[in-house]
């Protein structure tokens, strides 16, 4: 594909380069050419520029990006049209090793730098000696040998629409691995137009050009240097050797991830949403000499959005959370027994309060189960919960975590025993953790591989002074009180960060429950887009091992849901990625390049307009980004985005943009009269229809969507279940404009 250099081309290029520049380099080194000489107008100026700016040696839809000299670690094949900033960010991803194909570019880069330096009369120490060594026969021989080796290290997948390799499935492959083989063949076929043969193999006698999938006997025979049996359950390997490519990983999901990451990172495939995939088209496809060993940054990864519930989408993008679980045929997912707020499911008050009121909270001198918790110091209750947890785990033998978590309200027990623990520990998390530690210790002999999960949430968020979680306890720290306009290391989030630091020091398995939407208004601008990356990196830096990102989960059409789902999935796999570049990449891929650029400006506009505002996950007051000036500018940008999307050959782009436009209309409808007043006071132009009833009709039309496409049909507007028609009911008639007409 493109202009990757063949061995003969390398030889010719090097001979041409050195034979042409040798006398000039010598003369330049001795001052033979004056500065500014016209002799500098040659191909070597381009090579010098390449040496400074980086040189791309692949053409067409496959490119290799090189970092600046001094910080380059490896090359990564980028997808067609991916922003340069995203490619640079991905080149800093962990666990990747150097690619010998870099030799092509480094030869040209070094020669170009030397040529430019000499002709610009740069004072290089011992310049003549350096130049002489560069052009010595030994140096040229070494360069030619390196280039020849790198040429043989490439792996050709297809050329001219014809398959150049077979795909090998091995004995003992799991159902997930077998499905990954077939998806690999199908997707490579879509990219290249070629038909790829899947071959069953029992030993190392496989064709010279083959993609070996999975950790089976063929992989062990052909790649004995890879310790396949020691790979983690989600760890993956991509390796080219001897004309073969290995895509394998630990079980149950490593091989699935190896195939999916190969298709994404090396072939440019993007699974934006369950209904939106980008597959590049190129009849020729080759990959460099890969030597990748990688694993996700977090053991638990869940972007909890309706747009991210599809099992296939989750598997493609590396999510593995409990909710809307992934079937074993796609690699499976982490399994909880229970998930949240399990106190009353474990000890139902309708069954037990009458006979055991002492098991429930003592509040203001009375035992109660209303808006209450459990009496965590009661020894009889503790033993009862131990038995309930054991029974639950026997019913779910595949569960690796069981939830023992407080109810979703306050009401901690104030009995003398509970209060004594909490007072001594400086927080109600003291009695909570003492209770959970007891459960975890008692179940461990029968369930040694199960962890007990509990919350550090609201009144239990602050950690205790001396009680530490047992090794088989997971603490999920919840960020519900935070300012989500700013990263978690901002002064407005100082208290949460202090708790995160302390929990990270005392807890071996710390998870986070994070909040990434406005639960009171799913369809309302919520400018938290630019803290997603910084916050995940903060979690990683403090040793967090699992993250649950709770978004708008009730249905389609939530504000920027697809964007957050996809960007979060990428960052949960690799927090090192540039989140701004990921955002740009998504916007251009999902909405179209023209509309995506405009929507990116909208995100920046809302972010800037919200400066200084405490953005909670339940908006309970007006916000600066919802005032007239910001919303009017936002409306004009969305109108431009719709116009751009209407020109896209893919009609779905316009549907996506119109759904994306809903939050600005939602904000306008809900604030109509105050916005009209602001418009008059500013003597500004009103960008929406003069009739609120007409705008409500447009909102309804877009929410109704396209028959047969669920993702286009918007129904629910908040966590409480408010329906579109209930929201629009108040706009059946236009209100009078008491202050006179507004500019049309």
Please report whether residue 310 resides in a domain.
yes
Please report whether residue 508 resides in a domain.
no
pLDDT of residue 100: 38
Q: Which of 131, 152, 173 is the last residue of a domain?
A: 152
pLDDT of residue 143: 52
pTM for the model stands at 0.82
Please report whether residue 191 resides in a domain.
yes
For 553, 654, 676, the CA distances from 713, given in Å and listed in that order, are 14, 15, 29
Judged against a pLDDT cut of 70, whether residue 540 lies above it is answered with yes
Residues 393, 290, single domain; the answer is: no
Residues 256, 691: Cα–Cα separation, whole Å: 53
Q: Which of 243, 278, 295 is the last residue of a domain?
A: 295
Please report whether residue 44 resides in a domain.
yes
DSSP per-residue letters across 321-361: -STTPPPGGGT----EES-S--HHHHS-HHHHTTT-GGGB-
What are the tens digits of pLDDT across the range 663-683?
Answer: 999 999 999 999 999 999 999
Residues 237, 323, single domain; the answer is: no
Please report whether residue 511 resides in a domain.
no
Residues 439, 469: Cα–Cα separation, whole Å: 11
Judged against a pLDDT cut of 90, whether residue 27 lies above it is answered with no
Residues 147, 250, single domain; the answer is: no
Helices (H), 522-671: 532-541, 561-573, 579-591, 593-609, 628-646, 652-670
Residues 81, 95: Cα–Cα separation, whole Å: 25
Residues 719, 592, single domain; the answer is: yes
Mean per-residue pLDDT, 18-46: 36
DSSP state of 403: E
Residues 583, 660, single domain; the answer is: yes
Judged against a pLDDT cut of 60, whether residue 742 lies above it is answered with no
Q: Which of 110, 137, 152 is the last residue of a domain?
A: 152
Residues 187, 165: Cα–Cα separation, whole Å: 14
Measured N-to-C along each axis, helices 692-704 and 652-670 cross at an angle, to the nearest 10 degrees, of 140
Residues 301, 319: Cα–Cα separation, whole Å: 5
Residues 432, 285, single domain; the answer is: no
For 93, 361, 373, 433, 461, the CA distances from 413, given in Å and listed in that order, are 47, 4, 7, 14, 16
Residues 41, 145, single domain; the answer is: yes
Mean per-residue pLDDT, 436-442: 98
pLDDT of residue 138: 57
CATH label of the domain that carries residue 187: 3.30.379.10
pLDDT level of residue 34 (50, 70, 90 thresholds): very low
Q: Comparing 15-19, 50-54, 405-409, 499-503, which segment has the lowest mean pLDDT?
A: 50-54
* C-beta of residue 414 within 8 angstroms of C-beta of residue 368: no
Q: Token pair for residue 637?
A: 């940008």
Q: Quick check: helix, strand or coil at residue 388?
A: helix
Nearest in space to 606 (alpha carbons), one of 579, 624, 594: 624
Mean per-residue pLDDT, 559-581: 98
What are the tens digits of pLDDT across the range 84-131?
Answer: 333 333 333 333 333 434 444 444 444 444 444 444 444 444 444 544
Q: Quick check: helix, strand or coil at residue 673?
A: helix
Residues 400, 452: Cα–Cα separation, whole Å: 9
pLDDT mean across residues, the chain: 85
Residues 348, 314, single domain; the answer is: no
Residues 82, 451: Cα–Cα separation, whole Å: 41
Count of domains observed in the chain: 4
pLDDT level of residue 142 (50, 70, 90 thresholds): low
Residues 274, 308, single domain; the answer is: no
* C-beta of residue 59 within 8 angstroms of C-beta of residue 48: no
pLDDT of residue 736: 87
Residues 594, 652: Cα–Cα separation, whole Å: 14
Residues 447, 439: Cα–Cα separation, whole Å: 12
Residues 126, 118: Cα–Cα separation, whole Å: 12
C-alpha radius of gyration, the chain, whole number: 30
Measured in residues, the chain has a length of 744
Q: Comparing 3-17, 124-138, 486-500, which segment has the lowest mean pLDDT?
A: 3-17
Residues 123, 209, single domain; the answer is: no
Please report whether residue 504 resides in a domain.
no
* C-beta of residue 149 within 8 angstroms of C-beta of residue 100: yes
**Owning domain of residue 214:** 156-295
Please report whether residue 83 resides in a domain.
no
Residues 592, 697, single domain; the answer is: yes
Please report whether residue 84 resides in a domain.
no
Residues 599, 658: Cα–Cα separation, whole Å: 12
What is the 3-class SS of 227-262, one letter each residue? CHHHCCCCCEEEEEECCEEEEEECCCCHHHHHHHHH
Judged against a pLDDT cut of 90, whether residue 2 lies above it is answered with no
pLDDT of residue 131: 47
For 83, 531, 576, 660, the CA distances from 580, given in Å and listed in that order, are 10, 10, 12, 19
What are the tens digits of pLDDT across the range 302-343?
Answer: 999 999 999 999 999 999 999 999 999 999 999 999 999 999
pLDDT of residue 81: 36
* C-beta of residue 256 within 8 angstroms of C-beta of residue 176: yes
Burial class (CB in 10 A: 0-12, 13-18, 19+), 466: exposed
pLDDT of residue 96: 31
Residues 244, 170: Cα–Cα separation, whole Å: 14
Task: Decide which of 698 and 66 is more confident.
Answer: 698
- Exposure class string for 616-646: b at 16+ Cβ within 10 A, else e: bbebeeebebbbbebbbbbbbbbebbbebbe
Residues 242, 283, single domain; the answer is: yes
pLDDT of residue 147: 47
């Amino acid at each position: 594909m493109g202009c990757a250099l063949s061995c003969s081309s390398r030889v010719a290029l090097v001979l041409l380069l050195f034979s042409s520049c040798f006398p000039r380099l010598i003369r330049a080194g001795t001052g033979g050419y004056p500065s500014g000489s016209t002799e500098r107008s040659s191909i070597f100026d381009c090579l010098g520029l390449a040496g400074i700016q980086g040189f791309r040696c692949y053409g067409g839809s496959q490119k290799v990006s090189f970092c600046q000299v001094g910080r380059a670690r490896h090359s990564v094949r980028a997808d067609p049209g991916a922003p340069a900033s995203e490619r640079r960010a991905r080149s800093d991803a962990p666990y990747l090793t150097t690619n010998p194909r870099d030799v092509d570019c480094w030869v040209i880069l070094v020669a170009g730098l030397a040529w430019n330096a000499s002709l610009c009369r740069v004072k290089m120490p011992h310049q003549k000696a350096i130049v002489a060594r560069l052009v010595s026969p030994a140096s040229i021989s070494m360069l030619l040998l390196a280039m020849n080796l790198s040429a043989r290290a490439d792996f050709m997948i297809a050329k001219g629409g014809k398959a150049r390799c077979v795909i090998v499935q091995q004995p003992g492959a799991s159902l997930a691995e077998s499905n990954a083989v077939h998806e690999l063949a199908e997707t490579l076929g879509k990219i290249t137009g070629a038909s790829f043969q899947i071959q069953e193999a029992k030993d190392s006698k496989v064709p010279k050009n083959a993609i070996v999938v999975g950790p089976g006997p063929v992989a062990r025979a052909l790649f004995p240097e890879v310790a396949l049996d020691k790979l983690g359950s989600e760890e993956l390997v991509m390796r080219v050797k001897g004309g073969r490519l290995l895509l394998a990983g630990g079980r149950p999901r490593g091989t699935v991830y190896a195939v999916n990451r190969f298709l994404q990172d090396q072939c440019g495939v993007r699974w934006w949403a369950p209904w939106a995939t980008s597959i590049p088209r190129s009849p020729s496809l080759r990959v460099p000499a890969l030597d990748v060993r990688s694993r996700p940054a977090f053991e638990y990864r869940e972007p909890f959005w309706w747009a991210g519930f599809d099992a296939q989408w989750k598997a493609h993008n590396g999510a593995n959370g409990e909710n809307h679980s992934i079937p074993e045929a796609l690699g499976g997912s982490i399994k909880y027994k229970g998930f949240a707020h399990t106190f009353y499911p474990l000890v139902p008050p309708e069954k037990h309060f009458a006979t055991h009121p002492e098991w429930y909270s003592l509040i203001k001198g009375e035992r109660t189960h209303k808006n209450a918790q459990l009496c965590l110091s009661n020894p009889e209750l503790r033993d009862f919960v131990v038995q309930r947890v054991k029974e639950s785990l026997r019913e779910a033998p595949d569960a690796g975590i069981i939830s023992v978590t407080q109810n979703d309200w306050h009401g901690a027990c104030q009995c003398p025993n509970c209060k004594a623990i909490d007072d001594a520990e400086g927080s109600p998390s003291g009695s909570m953790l003492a209770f959970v530690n007891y459960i975890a210790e008692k179940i461990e002999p029968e369930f040694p591989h199960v962890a007990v999960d509990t919350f550090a949430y609201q009144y239990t968020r602050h950690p205790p002074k001396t009680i530490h979680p047992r090794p088989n306890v997971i603490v999920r720290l919840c960020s519900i009180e935070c300012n989500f306009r700013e990263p978690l290391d901002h002064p407005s989030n100082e208290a949460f960060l202090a708790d995160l630091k302390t929990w990270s020091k005392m807890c071996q398995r710390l998870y986070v429950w994070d909040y990434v939407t406005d639960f009171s208004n799913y369809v309302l601008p919520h400018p938290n887009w630019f803290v997603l990356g910084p916050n995940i990196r903060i979690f990683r830096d403090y040793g967090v091992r699992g993250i649950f990102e709770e978004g708008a989960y009730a249905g389609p059409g939530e504000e920027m849901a697809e964007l957050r789902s996809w960007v979060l999935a990428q960052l949960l796999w690799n927090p090192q990625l540039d989140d701004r570049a990921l955002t740009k990449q998504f916007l251009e891929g999902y909405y179209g390049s023209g509309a995506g650029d405009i929507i990116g400006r909208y995100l920046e506009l809302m972010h800037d307009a919200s400066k200084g505002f405490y953005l909670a996950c339940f908006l309970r007051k007006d916000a600066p980004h919802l005032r007239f000036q910001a919303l009017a500018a936002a409306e004009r940008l969305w109108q431009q985005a719709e116009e751009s999307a209407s020109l896209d050959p893919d009609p779905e782009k316009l549907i996506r943009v119109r759904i994306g436009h809903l939050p600005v209309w939602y904000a306008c409808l809900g604030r109509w009269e105050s916005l009209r007043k602001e418009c008059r006071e500013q003597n500004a132009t009103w960008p929406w229809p003069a009739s609120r009833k007409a705008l409500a009709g447009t909102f309804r039309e877009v929410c109704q969507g396209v028959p047969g496409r669920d993702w286009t049909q918007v129904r629910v507007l908040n966590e409480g279940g408010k329906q579109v028609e209930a929201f629009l009911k108040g706009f059946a008639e236009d209100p009078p404009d008491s202050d006179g007409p507004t500019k049309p």
